[in-house]
Amino acid sequence: MMNWRWMMFLTLACGCLRAAESLPWPETAEPEAVLAQVFGDDRFFGGPAWDPRTQILYFTAFSKTNQQILQMMADGKVTVWLNQTSGINGTFLSNSGRLLAAQAHGHRIMSYGLGEKGPTEVKTLLFDPTLHQPNDLCQTPRGDIYFTDPDFKERKTSAIYRIAPDGQVTRERTDVAVPNGIIASPMGKFLYVADSDAKRWMVYPILKDGALGDGTVFFKPETESTMDPDGMSMDEEGNVYLTGMGGIWVVHPKGRLIGFIPIPEICSNLAFGGTDGRTLYITCSSKLYSLRMRVQGASYGRRIWQIFRSAD
């Protein structure tokens, strides 16, 4: 009898092949670029975040008995940066250069100083045992931190939360049954949220005080893949990179599909990095890939400018 994991893989692979036959390769990727596996084992990877100051990629790893944050150095060596994370999934490099993290099992939003061999100055920004499992998070230039708390089991009490710069916590939206990945536009005007229940991505206007306006459907792909929409990233032109549903969907800020990158595994998240900001790192089940791009990540130039300014 075929087990469920193998059936899932076949379903995903078939969906990817069908999509690849009918959808264009995005112009934002190098025309001859190929997926390069840079790391892999039997765990599930997610939550990538690139630190341009140290040229280090941080990403999360899930196994049955442990969850970790790993770091990949410039030479490609991967080591454990934080062990037994209590289910940290999504991570994000904050405005101040710290690593923000959504801790699913611990019901916390964490902030870590980026020490060479592990975290420094560990801070708990929020602890709430009534949360389901904080999944992903991001920060806007204004300083607001948004995170998703999906109710995967009942699909009734999920929410999108905001931690304001003064620490006040607001339950912003409850109109997505299962919110998953989340990312804000570079200027902090829009918030994009993956809807794993309706298999689509939503967009919300961010008001001047940080509150969220009414959401609309940003993108819903036409595909036979039933894999959940997941993490996101953006490039310097404002295009949004959406993982899930068979691979990576590259979408114009107005919601028009630009192209599709098929991924042979379950694809969870992605982040721009590399010395020039033009390498896309993609976390998947059992593999970490890289792909060369023609564009930089949206936040790369802003963070490099901040680093040089702070060094003056």
Q: How do residues 121-150 score in pLDDT, each as one tens digit? A: 999 999 999 999 999 999 999 999 999 999
Quote the pLDDT of residue 86: 98
Region 254-283 average pLDDT: 97
Does the pLDDT value for residue 11 go beyond 70?
no
Domain-embedded: residue 165: yes
* Residue 187 within a domain: yes
Q: What is the pLDDT of residues 192-220, one digit of tens each?
A: 999 999 999 999 999 999 999 999 999 99
| pLDDT of 305 over the 70 cut | no
The enclosing domain of 50 has a CATH number of 2.120.10.30
Q: What is the pLDDT of residues 275-295, one digit of tens each?
A: 999 999 999 999 999 999 999
Interstrand relation of 200-205 and 108-114 (parallel, antiparallel or unpaired): unpaired
Question: With bands split at pLDDT 50, 70 and 90, how would you rate the model's confidence at 155?
Answer: very high
Question: Quick check: is 228 in a domain?
Answer: yes
Q: What is the mean pLDDT of residues 158-171?
A: 98
Whether the pLDDT of residue 48 is over 50: the answer is yes
Indicate if the pLDDT at residue 12 is higher than 80: no
Residue 135 in domain: yes
Residue 25 included in any domain: yes
Of 196, 257, 269, 204, nearest to 226 by C-alpha is 196
Is 2 within a domain? Answer: no
Asked if the model's pLDDT at residue 311 lies above 60, the reply is: no
Q: Which domain holds residue 22?
A: 7-311
Query: pLDDT band at residue 233, thresholds of 50, 70 and 90?
Result: very high
> Given pLDDT bands bounded at 50, 70 and 90, which one contains residue 300?
low
1 within domain boundaries = no
- What total of structural domains would you count in the chain? 1
User: Domain for residue 50, yes or no?
Assistant: yes
